[in-house]
């Protein structure tokens, strides 16, 4: 009899904890395409295509390395439609003595796995996901007893643990831990702007695309621009492309936005890191080696590794610490429906049509677009954070609940009441105008505060502060804008609130 090792769609790494020290002849690896995973939210067509094609390629690579792989396709006649159903079928097909599995990335799937032992009467061993830098225990040790869980301090722990960008005395390279203040430059259009490598879909990918086009025709997004890497080698090529052509300026332009430029100097690596095609720590080591060789400046290297060993690890820690009910938080009690234009990009607000348009085309938007355009708008318009969360989970190729939820519900919508963000990421049009060229191309006037031609972000921003004063009024970091609001003449306050109300009403008119 053999050991069954299920490998989930975001566990596409050769160095997976469940595979460690196993004899290939004793194991059957099981990869499962199942309806439940493809539809628990309506994932973007490109996201499903990416994950299923990467799974098929990874299964092939595992077989070529000598493993016995059992692969269940979505269109297999007897497919039961769920992970648990497929484990049941695999136990009938094979003579299995035990199951080994690396822990799942989210509560929903962990709950299934934790049932398997009782359900099937087979021993099930669950292993920690060693592709992350911090263990659950390390995060708990850091967080326990702290009043505030600020990313910056956790990040310093991760710098110490990995030794990245530390000198021999354990001091941060260059004397500072964080060079974010140097990372806020608006970008100019540049003919030399780097572009991600566009990978031509091979036969395996094309077969998945055909299936997705028919089976998931009602899911958002388009496959017309599908260009993702789907193998380890391709993901490594995009990694090289980023390191050689974009990293040096990543820091400077991290927060910049330009019309018609979806990618700028970003890595476009999150889908590959999150599904296991790329290892986050080895990527960060290479980034710091490039800094040591004077190929990239410190603000780029530090800014980049902070996203991965800092933010990425921190949001995962928060996700598991806060528990399965984190998803239901709604501190500001926001309850408006998500406007339809989130699924079409069809709005006169140019910043939103750009961010949403590229999301529907590429299943990608960079951080500042997610936070300060689509996220900021939903926040100040008072959209139900759960609906916002579902949208982000659906539309981005890198979205798995453990990383998407804390970023959306916590950082972007302030629905956790300030566990992740010390103040809501709310802004008027002024910030967007400073960091992008969007406003110059917009129907609305970013300088006007009220009236039909005024940038809607302006009145919405003040309306957001005014209507949430009971919940946000004592936040120190909002003291300045609240003072400004209190000093605003009553008739101006009224005009701003009326403008916001008129706009919000117009959002839902057919």
Instruction: Between 251 and 357, name the residue whose CB sits nearer to ligand SF4.
Output: 357
The span of 138-146, 182-190, 304-312, 453-461 binding ligand SF4 (CB under 6 A) equals: 453-461
For residue 442, state whether it binds ligand SF4 (rule: CB under 6 A).
Answer: yes
In the complex, the smallest distance separating the C-beta of residue 398 from ligand DLZ, rounded to whole angstroms, is 11
Instruction: Between 212 and 257, name the residue whose CB sits nearer to ligand SF4.
Output: 257
Please list, in sequence order, all residues whose beta carbon lies within 8 angstroms of the beta carbon of residue 400, skipping any fewer than 6 positions away.
Answer: 10, 105, 106, 274
Sheet strands side by side (includes 96-102): 69-72, 27-32, 2-7, 96-102, 124-127
Whole-number Å distance between alpha carbons of 270 and 324: 24
Please list, in sequence order, all residues whose beta carbon lies within 8 angstroms of the beta carbon of residue 466, skipping any fewer than 6 positions away.
Answer: 485, 493, 496, 497
Q: Summarize as ranges the residues that interact with ligand DLZ (CB under 6 A).
A: 8-10, 32-34, 37-38, 43, 48, 51, 104-106, 109, 400
Whole-number Å distance between alpha carbons of 497 and 461: 10
The residues facing 439 across adjacent strands are: none
Parallel, antiparallel or unpaired: strands 69-72 and 27-32: parallel
In the complex, the smallest distance separating the C-beta of residue 391 from ligand DLZ, rounded to whole angstroms, is 15
Interface with ligand SF4 (CB under 6 A), residue from 327, 432, 459, 500 = 432
For residue 308, state whether it binds ligand FAD (rule: CB under 6 A).
Answer: yes
Whole-number Å distance between alpha carbons of 54 and 79: 19
For residue 457, state whether it binds ligand SF4 (rule: CB under 6 A).
Answer: yes
Residue with tokens 């139900």: 384
On the CB side of 207, CA atoms within 13 Å amount to: 11
Interface with ligand FAD (CB under 6 A), residue from 267, 334, 356, 495 = 267
CA 260 to centroid of chain Cα atoms = 21
The token pair at 54 is 């990467």
Q: Angle at CA 507, nearest 5°, toward 262 and 451?
A: 95
In the complex, the smallest distance separating the C-beta of residue 193 from ligand DLZ, rounded to whole angstroms, is 31
Instruction: Between 109 and 495, name the residue whose CB sits nearer to ligand SF4.
Output: 495
The span of 37-45, 144-152, 361-369, 449-457 binding ligand SF4 (CB under 6 A) equals: 449-457
Interface with ligand SF4 (CB under 6 A), residue from 131, 232, 266, 350 = 350
DSSP 3-state assignment of 1? coil
Contact, 39 vs 394, CB < 8 A?
no
Interface with ligand SF4 (CB under 6 A), residue from 392, 438, 461, 462 = 438
In the complex, the smallest distance separating the C-beta of residue 432 from ligand SF4, rounded to whole angstroms, is 4
For residue 449, state whether it binds ligand SF4 (rule: CB under 6 A).
Answer: no
In the complex, the smallest distance separating the C-beta of residue 205 from ligand FAD, rounded to whole angstroms, is 20
For residue 256, state whether it binds ligand SF4 (rule: CB under 6 A).
Answer: no
Indicate the length of the chain as a whole number.
510
Interface with ligand FAD (CB under 6 A), residue from 291, 342, 377, 396 = 396
Instruction: Between 51 and 315, name the residue whose CB sits nearer to ligand FAD.
Output: 315
For residue 258, state whether it binds ligand SF4 (rule: CB under 6 A).
Answer: no
Interface with ligand FAD (CB under 6 A), residue from 367, 390, 467, 471 = 367
Please list, in sequence order, all residues whose beta carbon lies within 8 angstroms of the beta carbon of residue 469, skipping any fewer than 6 positions away.
Answer: 482
For residue 351, state whether it binds ligand FAD (rule: CB under 6 A).
Answer: no
The span of 54-62, 305-313, 414-422, 440-448 binding ligand FAD (CB under 6 A) equals: 305-313
> Which of 334, 411, 405, 415 is closest to 368 using CA atoms?
411
For residue 439, state whether it binds ligand SF4 (rule: CB under 6 A).
Answer: yes
> Residue 442 touches which of ligand DLZ, ligand FAD, ligand SF4, none (CB < 5 to 8 A by kind)?
ligand SF4
Interface with ligand FAD (CB under 6 A), residue from 347, 412, 433, 468 = 412
The span of 13-21, 81-89, 214-222, 370-378 binding ligand FAD (CB under 6 A) equals: 370-378
Eight-state DSSP code of residue 9: T
The residue sitting closest to ligand DLZ, measured at its beta carbon, is 9
CB-count exposure of residue 138 (10 Å: 0-12, 13-18, 19+): middle
On the CB side of 401, CA atoms within 13 Å amount to: 20
Whole-number Å distance between alpha carbons of 211 and 133: 36
> Residue 48 touches which of ligand DLZ, ligand SF4, ligand FAD, none (CB < 5 to 8 A by kind)?
ligand DLZ
Q: Sign of torsion, CA 82 88 92 93?
A: positive
In the complex, the smallest distance separating the C-beta of residue 103 from ligand FAD, rounded to whole angstroms, is 18
Residues contributing to the site for ligand FAD (CB under 6 A): 266-270, 273-274, 307-308, 311-312, 315, 366-367, 370-371, 375, 392, 396, 398-399, 403-404, 407-408, 411-412
């Amino acid at each position: 009899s053999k050991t069954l090792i299920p490998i989930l769609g975001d566990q596409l790494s050769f160095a997976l904890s469940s595979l460690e020290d196993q004899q290939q002849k004793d194991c059957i690896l099981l990869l499962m395409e199942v309806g439940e995973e493809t539809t628990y939210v309506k994932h973007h067509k490109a996201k499903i295509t990416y994950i299923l094609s990467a799974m098929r390629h990874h299964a092939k690579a595992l077989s070529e390395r000598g493993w016995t792989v059992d692969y269940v396709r979505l269109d297999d006649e007897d497919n039961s439609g769920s992970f648990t159903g497929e484990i049941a079928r695999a136990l009938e097909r094979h003579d299995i003595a035990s199951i080994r599995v690396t822990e799942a990335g989210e509560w929903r799937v962990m709950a299934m796995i934790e049932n398997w032992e009782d359900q099937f009467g087979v021993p099930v061993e669950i292993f920690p996901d060693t592709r992350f830098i911090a263990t659950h225990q390390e995060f708990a040790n850091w967080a326990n007893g702290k009043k505030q869980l600020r990313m910056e301090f956790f990040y310093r722990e991760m710098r110490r643990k990995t030794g990245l960008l530390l000198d021999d005395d354990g001091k941060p390279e260059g004397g500072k831990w964080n060079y974010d203040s140097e990372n806020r430059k608006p970008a100019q259009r540049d003919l030399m702007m780097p572009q991600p490598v566009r990978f031509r879909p091979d036969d395996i990918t094309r077969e998945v695309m055909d299936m997705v086009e028919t089976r998931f025709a009602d899911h958002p997004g388009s496959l017309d621009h599908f260009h993702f890497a789907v193998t380890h080698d391709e993901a490594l090529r995009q990694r090289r492309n980023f390191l050689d052509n974009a990293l040096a300026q990543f820091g400077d332009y991290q927060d910049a936005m330009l019309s018609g430029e979806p990618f700028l100097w970003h890595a476009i690596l999150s889908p590959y890191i999150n599904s296991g095609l790329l290892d986050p720590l080895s990527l960060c080591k290479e980034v710091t080696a490039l800094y040591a060789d004077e190929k990239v400046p410190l603000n780029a290297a530090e800014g980049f590794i902070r996203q991965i060993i800092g933010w990425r690890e921190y949001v995962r820690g928060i996700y598991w610490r806060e528990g399965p009910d984190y998803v239901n938080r709604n501190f500001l009690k926001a309850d408006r429906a998500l406007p339809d234009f989130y699924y079409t990009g069809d709005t006169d607000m140019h910043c939103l049509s750009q961010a949403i348009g590229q999301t529907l085309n590429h299943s990608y938007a960079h951080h500042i677009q997610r936070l300060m355009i689509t996220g900021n708008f939903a926040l100040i318009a008072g959209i139900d954070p759960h609906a916002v969360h579902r949208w982000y989970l659906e539309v981005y190729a890198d979205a798995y609940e453990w990383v998407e939820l804390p970023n959306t519900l916590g950082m972007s919508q302030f629905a956790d009441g300030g566990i992740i963000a010390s103040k809501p990421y709310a802004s008027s049009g002024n910030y967007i105008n400073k960091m992008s060229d969007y406003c110059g191309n917009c129907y609305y006037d970013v300088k006007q505060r009220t009236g039909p031609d005024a940038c809607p972000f302006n009145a919405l921003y003040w309306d957001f502060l005014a209507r949430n004063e009971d919940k946000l009024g004592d936040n120190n970091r909002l003291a300045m804008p609240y003072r400004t609001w209190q000093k605003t003449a009553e008739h101006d306050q009224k005009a701003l609130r009326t403008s916001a109300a008129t706009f919000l009403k117009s959002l839902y008119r057919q």
